[in-house]
Structure 1
């Protein structure tokens, strides 16, 4: 894991409400190290402990704690509270902790499947208010982030959206769009793209989630393999186990799966790598009672031998994915 922040950097992360852009700038200009992405199980416990310690120290009841986490307005925000609990989570920016804690403690959390009535209410709220998700949250009775994701992934474009298997033509169109946004602009197929834009260029027939999943989990590895359909090999398992071991994390929830690929080993999406790890982990008898490091030691011993050629297990079947030249021709 990355280390190296000074005490000044730690203070900055716990007190300055910097945007994602500003944090990225500081990472480049002064070498600031900070964490992004999903909070690990250990971080979740650290946060819970920090919030509870604050509540006890200030002698707050549950209602008062909720008022601290969800103030009436910006002027009522308790910066000291947010700085104190952020300081308990190394390398997490205060803005990240703020949003995570508000999601975790939100009264609308875990409400289950959306109803047709809620979707209609959400659609009407967006039509009247635009994408002001915090305000829409109060109208719909769901968390702001849930409203946003529901609208983007399920409500908008529902009338034209297609479900079920993708056609060859759809796959070819998706490949062209992604290549235009990456390779044709001097990048690589692994560059991040705006999936909302991709979905729009697909004519709204597939939503952003469908496009992202289809590309990262299926098409990307086929395109990189010249239209073949690579299979997960013993060497892939060996590489994954040893890459994870080199991270020296305390728990697999601390892994940033997007960082594991390199220029020589990049067929598998972060989602597939995580899924493959879970499969290997669960193959260890009694894994539920083991630490992450104990599981790693067993898997390293099991994965000492591997195929001489990485990811050469190609299914002998005709691929639906063609090269760009063939598609354009």
Structure 2
């Protein structure tokens, strides 16, 4: 159990948040009146009081809201909680959706003292059930009555697609198939064939969003801009070559050009990352190969499955 020590909002983006005594929360926005709300997964940001006090102990005089946090809570080390954790404050129910964040433009605190704790210690949540909260309210962990649905992201790699010169058909085909199988596709992304951008995106999705599955499409051939396998391998913590090998083996029965695929399959943390071909037809054929085995594989990564015996 924790206690809300501060509720902070900013009515305009780019302005430091300030403390207010109470607030209303809605699933459609987050904290009513906060400019950073919206229909997305980062509606509410949370930070533990202990982290702020440790920062203050270094000599930094920071007010609540200085790190961009919406809720300051005493009693929780949010960083240790997994994505999907449910938090209740009265009638309000929050679900954690992200751990930490990228810091693209350093905030005023970072510029003043050279550090900011929000990117590494803060977490984000979406509002599942709205209501009214105030400073001093209790926050409780709520046990999940059923497992979090398998969560996935789809990334299309295409220079022409990123420039708007070609319609992405493979990405939507993957999304449609995943959703038909009961997956929650939380992000669909279109990137140019750029290794650095792909590595950054894969790392964010695996580490901060803690997704179960990431599927990429495109960039796996012999072309000089086909860098998807190299970028994928660069973020791997473990290899899972059997999936890519099975896709190639099955594809060879359809076309001998399957031997030219350099696609890989790897694990980062608890996230499985699989490279798929660039064409919609090949994508669907590839998913036929490995998708039936995914519940077992992803259950192993989550720690929900222990026995691999046949």
The structure with the largest alpha-carbon Rg is 1
Say yes or no: TM over 0.5: no
Q: Which has the higher strand share?
A: 2
Q: Which has the higher helix share?
A: 1
TM-score, normalization by structure 1: 0.27
